[in-house]
Structure 1
Amino acid sequence: MNRNYIIILTVLLLFPGWALAQRNRPQLLVYGYGADAYAAALQSSMSNMQTVWVINGEKLVPELTSDMISVTSNTDLDAGVWADLLGATLRHDKRNDSVSAIAKRRINPRIVQNVMDSVLNAAKNLVIIEGGQLRSVKKSGKYWQVELADRSRFKVRALVDASTDAYLYRLAKGEADTLSVRTPVPDTYFQAVPYDGLARTGVAVGDLGAGPFTLPLASMIPADDSNLFVTRKLPVLQYLLRGTPDDIPLLMHAGQAVGATAAYAAFFKTTSDKLDVRTIQGELLQYGARLIPFADVPIQHPHFDVAQRIGATGILLGKPVEGGGLHFDWDAAVTAAEIKPVLNQLFSRSQIWFVNHASVDTLMLPDLFSYLKFVGQRGNELEEYVKKNWKRRFQFEGEYDEKQVVTRRIFAVLLDVYCQPFAVKVGLDGTIQR
């Protein structure tokens, strides 16, 4: 028997915890104590990344656990970790927009503390260090070396600085005013209805009263390949935050998005300049995040994920409504003119179909079936299957009518199933890459 093998086997038998420690060694470190730190650490752990959360304050998420507060922002846009927390304060275990709205009216700090304690105690892949203070943060090859004041050390692939003063960032790189991101978001971005371009890469939604928006991924990642991520000190958040309880939903959403992004970099052993937008968005959707701020698509809606995926492709544009909201507008008819530009970018065969069906204006169900069969390369059994599963699988309302007009609901659901446009990659600038 090989001598080296005997030595390794002996070590494992005598010290079984050593192997476990190596396997469970954290690969991502979150630093901070606020709502964004909570969301980032929790999302990283849910993304199956061994995470250590260094809480540098005396109180966990003090903006929620200190005083009785009310949150009025983000009407019908609460999502992800934040929506889970709100629901749990009212003993609901499923995300629901109506429950979130009720919970936000009167947030009891003691109840929130109990909920967070329960969530964190049950979290896997998460080590929490309370009262932790940083001593040094240094880059060593592909890793970050972090030492705490008590001399404990961590070697991780990615860092998330969610502190209020960017202390970790300053230790690692110097002054925080050097902080730069891949793509700064201009003020004009928030003055337009979000649906295209950078919004295709949206990972965190918000509405602080001036209108809904989604924060593009490139505005939340470092300009370099350092894998040093920040949350509340991001330029785009500094522009938006007001220093009131109404900031909390946006901080939670942004923290969750950064947590998923950092976890992606660590898990795939890559760097922050080589991120896959759709993979990160898909991970966030899995945990209830919103990518596009459709206020008429409740988070409990059976087609919620479909609307988010189709919205993120830009095929169907969000429709602004009075009062500043953005709607998916489920029951509106679909025209060839509105879907053709993006579909032709997504699928090469799409261009041929539109040339051969130049006379199509408002889509009828036979037109949609024809498109799905040609572009999605489906067989003639498609119509019969959809008819049979109209309500059971696809959960459409009303009776099947082969001559009916195609609504945005029908189009989105069937296109998502049979052509999967969300699977087509996009760059960090929102450019479609097929």
Structure 2
Amino acid sequence: MIKKLLLALLLFNCSLTYAQTIKTDILVIGGDAGGTAAAIQGARSKLKTLLIEPGAQLCQAMTSQSMVTITRGTDLPSGIWGEFRKRTIEFYKKTPGYDTAHNASLHLEPYTGAAIFKKIADTVKNLTVKLNTSFSTVKRDGDVWEITISQNGKSQLVKAKVIIDATQGATVAAKLGIAVKSFDFGAANQQSTLYRTSIAMGDSFPGQGADGVVPAGNYPPYPSYCIPLNSIVVKQVDNLLVTAALIPGDDIQYLAGQLTLGQGAGTAAAFCAFFKTTTKKLDPRTVQGEILDFKGYLLPFADVKPNDPYMRAIQQVGATGLLKGLPHTISNGVTQLFFMPDSVVNTAEVKPLIMEIYTRAFLWFNKEKPGNKFTVGNLMSFISEITLTEPKTLQLSLQKNWKTEYKFTANFDMTRPVTRREFAVLANKFLNPFARKVDLNGNMVN
């Protein structure tokens, strides 16, 4: 009898322990705007996601009931930021005098913004949100994280494949004895290849110009920026991503940046969880492809709108560097990054990367000797060379579909310079430079 009682007690304790353990793919610690976006994206990428927030609501910094104006990110409605912006405009559209133009500054009461985030989060499958929940211990056990959380005085153990530290001050990393440095936007943009791994972007970064020095020779050109994938990866330990050290989570003026960065982090975490791999093996192109699937931007091209049918093609070609954007000063004196889709392609700008990506390019350039302006005929000839398509067959196909399938406005003319839009669309479809893998430093992988 005593043995049976002991066995029953043991089984009861085991079941109790199991009931107190939560297993999840992604754990997001910190429910500011960036953390909320990370959790939403992780769950939308079909990974089980848990978000814990020590406060009583998501986006604790968004409690004011006074109307504020957000001017940053207006022309870059990327992904979750674009979704939030659209919902906010919809909420206020009947307010007298409210400007609903696509490029207008965003006016809102922060507490209403927090309610919009909650409403979005409530509709996302695979996402669980625990408010009034803190964490006390965190450790790596094999290939999973074990985190002790506490809600209303009750402790639970969470086992997660990936952690996103979205706390102010990177407290999860600090608990592990890891110091996280602030992200240097200027320095990152001066590293010539990091933009190829971009997971977030914006038109102006925190603290820009505070020292009166404008960075020279960077890309994207000041004040636009990209945030590379490796900037959120904690190198000392596997499967820990940090976001709050990059963009202040308590300043609503940087809401667009917080959301785009959070979405990028959620996508990176989903990659690791889905493929059962580590942050050391992140594949930038796969992560970027998922961001694009969810209408996110990789580069801050302000003149290519979300409804452009070839926005993705332009973003993908832009992320390779085959065609780079250029600074453009708009009417109010603000400088933005423009793709300028209707301007023509110079041979000098595309030749270096073409030579780097395609092994037969050297022979083609020696044979064709294109002039200063890359023509429609040059592009068609190069596509024929790389894809081994018979030139006449390719020409007839392009000519037939020029305005119907591709919806180009200019006439098909082999002799005229190709526009940047035409080049991006056709190169993306036939040459697919975005498929060329890059490492976390943005270098091409052979």
TM-score band by shorter chain is: 0.7 to 0.9
- Deviations along 1:71-106, one digit per CA (max 9) or x if unpaired, are 1112412311111011012339xxxxx75544x431
State the alpha-carbon separation in 2 of the partners of residues 186 and 328 from structure 1.
Answer: 21
- More deviation, 241-250/44-53: 241-250
Q: 2:259 aligns with which of 242, 252, 260?
A: 252
State the alpha-carbon separation in 2 of the partners of residues 336 and 224 from structure 1.
Answer: 43
Match of 1:428? 440
| 2:170 aligned with 1:159 | no
Deviation at 1:411, TM superposition (A): 0.6
State the secondary structure of the residue aligned to 1:70: strand
State the secondary structure of the residue aligned to 1:91: helix
Match of 1:11? none
| 2:377 aligned with 1:366 | yes
State the secondary structure of the residue aligned to 2:133: coil
Contact 2:347/2:370, CA 8 A, preserved across alignment: no
- More deviation, 337-346/203-212: 203-212
| 2:172 aligned with 1:168 | yes
Alignment of 1:219-238 (within 5 A): 219-234=231-246, 237=247
Deviation at 1:170, TM superposition (A): 2.8
Alignment of 1:38-53 (within 5 A): 38-53=36-51
Contact 1:180/1:222, CA 8 A, preserved across alignment: no
State the alpha-carbon separation in 2 of the partners of residues 359 and 304 from structure 1.
Answer: 27
| 2:390 aligned with 1:392 | no
Match of 2:80? 81
Match of 1:37? 35
Contact 1:70/1:106, CA 8 A, preserved across alignment: yes
State the alpha-carbon separation in 1 of the partners of residues 232 and 389 from structure 2.
Answer: 39
Amino acid at match of 1:274: K
Contact 1:306/1:413, CA 8 A, preserved across alignment: yes
Deviation at 1:187, TM superposition (A): 3.5
State the secondary structure of the residue aligned to 2:379: helix
Structure 1 stretches of 4+ with a deviation exceeding 4 A read none
Contact 1:70/1:245, CA 8 A, preserved across alignment: no
**Structure 1 residues 414, 38: closer, same or farther in 2, change over 3 A?**
same
Alignment of 1:22-421 (within 5 A): 25-67=23-65, 68-91=67-90, 101-102=103-104, 104-109=105-110, 111-149=112-150, 150-171=154-175, 173-174=176-177, 178-179=179-180, 185=184, 187-190=186-189, 196-208=192-204, 210=208, 211-234=223-246, 237=247, 241=248, 244-322=251-329, 323-380=334-391, 381-421=393-433
TM-score by length of 1: 0.84
Contact 1:180/1:223, CA 8 A, preserved across alignment: no
Q: CA RMSD in A?
A: 2.6
Aligned positions, number: 396
Greater helix share, structure number: 1
State the alpha-carbon separation in 1 of the partners of residues 389 and 236 from structure 2.
Answer: 43
TM-score by length of 2: 0.82
Gaps of 5+ in 1: 1-17, 93-97
State the alpha-carbon separation in 2 of the partners of residues 33 and 100 from structure 1.
Answer: 28
Amino acid at match of 2:87: A
State the secondary structure of the residue aligned to 1:273: helix
Contact 1:146/1:155, CA 8 A, preserved across alignment: yes
Contact 2:170/2:180, CA 8 A, preserved across alignment: no
State the alpha-carbon separation in 1 of the partners of residues 108 and 195 from structure 2.
Answer: 31
State the alpha-carbon separation in 1 of the partners of residues 187 and 101 from structure 2.
Answer: 33
Deviation at 1:422, TM superposition (A): 0.3
- Deviations along 1:23-78, one digit per CA (max 9) or x if unpaired, are x9411100112111111001111111111111221221134453332111124123
